[in-house]
Amino acid sequence: MTLDAAVTGAPLLSVRDLTKHFPITGGVMRRVVGAVRAVDGISFDVAPGETLGLVGESGCGKTTAGRAILRLIEPTSGEIRFDGTDVRALGKEPLRKLRRQMQIVFQDPFSSLNPRMTVGASVREGLTIHKLAEGRAADARVRQLLEEVGLRAEHATRYPHEFSGGQRQRVGIARALAVEPKFIVCDEPVSALDVSVQAQVINLLQDLQRSHGLAYLFIAHDLSVVEHIADRVAVMYLGRIVELANADDLYSMPLMPYTQALLSAIPVPDPEAKRERIVLRGDVPSPANPPSGCPFHPRCQHPQKDAACSVIVPPLELKEPNHWAACIKQLPTRISWADQKAAGASRQPERVVPIRAIA
Amino acid sequence: MSLEPLLSVEELRTYFRTSAGVARAVDGVSFSIAANESVGVVGESGCGKSVTSLSLLRLIQRPGTIEPDSKIEFEGTNLLSLDDESMRKIRGNRIAMIFQEPMTALNPVFTVGAQLAEVPRVHLSISRRDAWARAVEMLGTVGIPDPAERAHSYPHQLSGGMRQRVMIGMALMLSPTLLIADEPTTALDVTIQAQILELLAELRGRTAMSVLLITHDLGVVAESTSRVIVMYAGEIVEQAGVRELFAKPHHPYTEGLMAAMPRAGTKRERLTVIPGAVPSPYEWPAGCRFHERCPYAWERCEREHPPLYEIGLGHVSRCHLAVEPERRASPHVPLAARAGAGT
């Protein structure tokens, strides 16, 4: 399966069948009695200079996926290729060298900076570790980086507590930028910020992307922010990617019933907007004990849902050009009607797409 | 709107006197809520919206104080003149409150059934058995599946959405006439948020309850309230019916907030930003508190603190543009953006 038909040329990052299972131990002997399948076989590509949005609700595995790609946590299985390098095969030292190319910006600018280091020292760290600059050259580079992210050069001597949330997030971005990466995992970079400040940081990320040709994996639960910033979007549910498409296509014609419900749940800042909301019943099931078949079937609102949905694991398949979704009831599907009937199906697959109200 | 408002707040001032000075967190706020009305309060961190809601229940702790000339009239009684015992009867009984983080608001060592049953036991002195029955019934009302079973669960055994349902249930045990909901869905996922907002709307439809919804999310306000109060720097800067506010925002801060939101159609364009940051409550700027960040500000704004001008039916705005509207035609780079540093 190629997930990058939209992308010409080689992808910068290519992830195949990535899994991360956390063991659950029990009893006095702390034996492994099960596993939380936080990431359960995901595949996608990121092209140079592209933004791939990764969305989903708490516990869907999006943050774990982002960290597993950078090997900040070790993946259980799967393949990660970055610029042709097999990331999982790297030893400690080569991995550290590669991290110059792949950086991360965290959600919480309060806890991701060392409170006892000046922000200048924090930004400088990467330069020292990767031997990019020393002494005066490093000082100059730090000042330049701070100005690039919209702070002042003299801020270098201040401590994190002297900054507002938005300013701290700018420091976090300067830190990532210091080593001149090609790719940054942005893990909920604006979720902790107020609306007006959030807009400033989003603009900054977009400006930097253009000037440095950066590729982003933009992880967020805020679907409006992702729609604004992403070229393509992957939706995760219980450790799997359930839909992947160009942002415009995904938002205008979501095909996986979960994506449809997710999009319809976003509150629209327009009191005149009339639309049909799909309110999902129940909670997200535990990834330690996911439902059989399609992980979404217990909450699914697709009118053709039937017994086969709790048996057949839906493959992420091409439904439209460059638009993948995992649903055996949403046509077209390569799971034949005969196979569905054998699994207990009583309702024919059918294409169901809600109409999106434009605000 | 009925003649007598359910709640009427006049010149509410809540100050925190600390060693660093006086933080004027809420600085002269006046508004009212009618029976069965749903009013939204929006604003960013530090605007005073949460301190306002805590003040209504007199839950302000030292060094915070509600200043003497403030007035909070609820069902005809000035809450600020009540003794502690009478105030305790109002809390929960007549006015209830739910918070953002239901995990910290629930007691981890008691089952949710026991926590719900305690409310009528304390306030109505009914039997243990009756109280438990009411608790189970309420869990059903707020949409918890298998309420009889779930009543025996501890808070950590429930999901975030379920815990927020329990909190709402606890708040409603005594059929309050006013529910104050402080960011009730901020910690929840968007599909669960939709469930909780639907539940609140349904409960308001079924009873005569009024809701004061405090949130930073303009989308939530647009969908769940009929009137909106916008707060900035301890003050109300704009108030209007929800449709009017979204169609014709008047105050430059309201306008800025709406423009800063990413939404469909703004794709990959630069978002409009409000430059600078929220000022400190220890030292609100002179004149209009927003003038340094405002693209229309002129000399008058630095000098003269604007009153709440009436600019339409039920629509007020704390901006001199109300009397010099032609100034809106010539925006400029705000002072805060000229200073250079980003926020």
pLDDT in tens, chain B (343 residues): 445 799 999 999 999 999 989 999 999 999 999 999 999 999 988 899 999 999 999 999 989 999 999 999 999 999 999 999 999 989 888 999 988 776 678 899 999 999 999 988 888 889 999 999 999 999 988 888 889 999 999 998 888 888 888 999 998 888 899 999 998 888 778 888 888 888 889 888 888 899 999 998 899 999 999 999 999 999 999 999 999 999 999 999 999 999 888 876 666 678 888 888 888 899 999 999 999 999 999 999 999 999 999 999 999 999 999 999 999 999 999 988 875 544 4
Residue B299: φ, ψ to 5°: -50, -45
Nearest CA to B213 out of B78, B100, B119, B317 is that of B100
Which pLDDT score, from 0 to 100, does residue B187 have? 76
Residue whose tokens read 């449709």: B243
- Structure tokens belonging to residue A191: 């979720």
**Helix (H, G, I), strand (E, B), or coil: what is residue A97?**
helix
Residue B305: φ, ψ to 5°: -70, 120
* A84 interfaces chain B, CB cutoff of 8 Å: no
CA A89 to chain CA mean position, Å: 23
Give dist(CA B262, CA A53) in Å, integer: 15
Peptide bond into A332 cis (omega under 30): yes
Q: How confident is the model at residue A6 (pLDDT cuts 50, 70, 90)?
A: very low
Nearest-CB residue to A200 (from B191, B218, B343):
B343
What are the chain B neighbours of A147 within 8 Å (beta carbons)? none
Q: Taking the model in full, what pTM does it have?
A: 0.87
Decide the pairing of beta strands B227-232 and B38-42: parallel
User: Could you tell me which residue, A56 or A108, shows the higher pLDDT?
Assistant: A56
* B273 interfaces chain A, CB cutoff of 8 Å: yes
Which residues 201-240 of chain A have a CB within 8 Å of chain B? 202-204, 206, 221, 223-225, 227-229
Cβ–Cβ < 8 Å for A148, A173: no
Nearest-CB residue to B193 (from A225, A265, A359):
A265
* B339 interfaces chain A, CB cutoff of 8 Å: no
What are the chain A neighbours of B261 within 8 Å (beta carbons)? 195, 199, 224, 269
Nearest chain B residue to A150 by CA: give it: B342
Nearest-Cα distance to chain B for A249, in Å, is 12
- Structure tokens belonging to residue B284: 């609100």
Q: Please judge whether B191 and A170 are an interchain contact, meaning their C-beta atoms are less than 8 angstroms apart.
A: no
Residue ranges of the alpha helices (H) in chain A?
A: 62-69, 92-98, 119-129, 135-148, 165-177, 195-212, 223-229, 247-252, 257-264, 337-342
Cβ–Cβ < 8 Å for B288, B320: yes
* B202 interfaces chain A, CB cutoff of 8 Å: no
What are the chain A neighbours of B184 within 8 Å (beta carbons)? none
Nearest CA to A210 out of A193, A231, A192, A189 is that of A231
Per-residue pLDDT tens digits for A167-188 = 899 999 999 999 999 999 999 9
Q: Please judge whether B258 and A277 are an interchain contact, meaning their C-beta atoms are less than 8 angstroms apart.
A: no
**Helix (H, G, I), strand (E, B), or coil: what is residue A32?**
strand
CA A213 to chain CA mean position, Å: 19
Cβ–Cβ < 8 Å for A297, A310: yes
Three-state secondary structure readout of chain B: CCCCCCEEEEEEEEEEEECCEEEEEEEEEEEEECCCCEEEEECCCCCCHHHHHHHHCCCCCCCEEECCCCEEEECCEEHHHCCHHHHHHHECCCEEEECCCHHHHCCCCCCHHHHHHHHHHHHHCCCHHHHHHHHHHHHHHCCCCCHHHHCCCCHHHCCHHHHHHHHHHHHHCCCCCEEEEECCCCCCCHHHHHHHHHHHHHHHHHCCCEEEEEECCHHHHHHHCCEEEEEECCEEEEEEEHHHHHHCCCCHHHHHHHHHCCCCCCCCCCCCCCCCCCCCCCCCCCCCCCHHHCCCCCHHHHHCCCCCEEEECCEEECCHHHCCHHHHHCCCCCHHHHCCCCC
Nearest-CB residue to A265 (from B190, B217, B270):
B190
Residue whose tokens read 């190629």: A2
Nearest-Cα distance to chain B for A126, in Å, is 23
Q: Calculate the alpha carbon distances from A290 to A23, A301, A333, B299 in Å.
A: 15, 18, 23, 63
Nearest-CB residue to B45 (from A194, A224, A225):
A194
State the amino acid at position A158 in one-letter form: R
Cβ–Cβ < 8 Å for A3, A13: no
| Cβ neighbourhood burial of A157 (10 Å; 0-12, 13-18, 19+) | exposed
Give dist(CA B101, CA B86) in Å, integer: 27
Per-residue pLDDT tens digits for A75-123 = 999 999 999 999 999 999 999 999 999 999 988 777 888 999 999 999 9
* A58 interfaces chain B, CB cutoff of 8 Å: yes
Which pLDDT score, from 0 to 100, does residue A1 have? 45
* B216 interfaces chain A, CB cutoff of 8 Å: yes
* A319 interfaces chain B, CB cutoff of 8 Å: no
Nearest CA to B241 out of B167, B313, B325 is that of B313
Percent of chain A with pLDDT over 70: 95
User: Could you tell me which residue, A289 or B319, shows the higher pLDDT?
Assistant: B319
Give dist(CA B192, CA B331) in Å, integer: 41
Nearest-CB residue to B343 (from A166, A277, A359):
A166
Per-residue pLDDT tens digits for A7-29 = 457 899 999 999 999 988 887 87
Nearest-Cα distance to chain B for A281, in Å, is 8
User: Residues for chain B: how many in total?
Assistant: 343
Which pLDDT score, from 0 to 100, does residue B266 have? 61
* B191 interfaces chain A, CB cutoff of 8 Å: yes
What are the chain A neighbours of B221 within 8 Å (beta carbons)? 269
Nearest-Cα distance to chain A for B177, in Å, is 25
Residue whose tokens read 């259980």: A76
State the amino acid at position B39 in one-letter form: V
* A200 interfaces chain B, CB cutoff of 8 Å: yes
| Cβ neighbourhood burial of A235 (10 Å; 0-12, 13-18, 19+) | buried
- Structure tokens belonging to residue A40: 């359960």
Nearest-Cα distance to chain A for B173, in Å, is 23
Region A157-173: mean pLDDT is 89
**Helix (H, G, I), strand (E, B), or coil: what is residue A242?**
strand
- Structure tokens belonging to residue B305: 């603190």
Nearest-CB residue to B257 (from A195, A261, A359):
A195
Which pLDDT score, from 0 to 100, does residue A353 have? 85
State the amino acid at position A278 in one-letter form: I
- Structure tokens belonging to residue B176: 């309050």
Q: Please judge whether B268 and A358 are an interchain contact, meaning their C-beta atoms are less than 8 angstroms apart.
A: no
Give dist(CA A336, CA A312) in Å, integer: 11
Cβ–Cβ < 8 Å for B157, B118: no
DSSP letter (8 states) at residue A245: E
DSSP string for A196-238: HHHHHHHHHHHHHHHHHT-EEEEEES-HHHHHHH-SEEEEEET
Confidence check: pLDDT of A191 > 80: yes
- State the ipTM, two decimals: 0.81
- Round the average pLDDT of chain A to a whole number and report it: 90
CA B322 to chain CA mean position, Å: 26
Counted across chains A and B, CB pairs separated by less than 8 A come out at: 145
